[in-house]
Amino acid sequence: MAHEQVFRWFFIAIGVGALLISGYFRRKARRSGEAIPRAREGKLVLLSRLVFAAPLYLSILAYMVNPAWMAWSAMPLPAWLRWLGAAVGLAMWPLIYWVFRSIGDNISETFLTKSQHVLVAHGPYRWVRHPLYSAAALSLVALSLLAANWFMFAMACAAFLGIAGLVIPREEAELIQKFGDEYRAYMARTGRFAPRLHLFP
């Protein structure tokens, strides 16, 4: 029981820490630049965000407030795997900070590009086109391991697949429309979610 409380406090710390980093940079970008309303993304994307994101974030909040509320979807995991979740979650803090610092005012709540959008190709964006989605996915998987909760894990995977299949193609189409061949060349030398492995010359 004591271990469960420790895991819960790590869960809260990791979740709140990531949220604070994200909130700081997003608020800074909104103050200094253009904010795009979510309604401009269209009903399909808005509906998919609601279907995938709402249950995921509500389950995270429920576990933070009272883990017993999520006991129905608990799964038995060895302690070492839950500690691994804690380590991965904590390791995401500097990565999330690096991503937000690198993208700066280009950060948006939507897949649409801002009128003053610039192509970021430094920091983690030098190797990966969507490191924020990668960091978010790893953080959510880490939290689901910490909570030992299959529902959180399933919803994190579903949300990632939804983003990969629905949001990113639209986002990249927007960026190609804005930057043309410059973005196509950028796509050719970077990985979508992880750096490309150049195994052969």
Average pLDDT of adjacent 10-residue blocks, the chain of 201 residues:
85 96 89 68 72 88 96 95 96 96 84 78 94 94 97 93 87 91 94 77 45
What amino acid occupies position 60? I
DSSP letter string, 86-98: HHHHHHHHHHHHH
State the pLDDT at residue 199.
43
State the pLDDT at residue 183.
93
State the pLDDT at residue 41.
65
| CATH C-level class of 2-189 | mainly alpha
Residue spans per domain, the chain: 2-189
pTM score over 0.95: no
Say how far apart CA 177 and CA 67 lie, in whole Å.
46
State the pLDDT at residue 162.
86
State the pLDDT at residue 1.
53
Burial class (CB in 10 A: 0-12, 13-18, 19+), 80: exposed
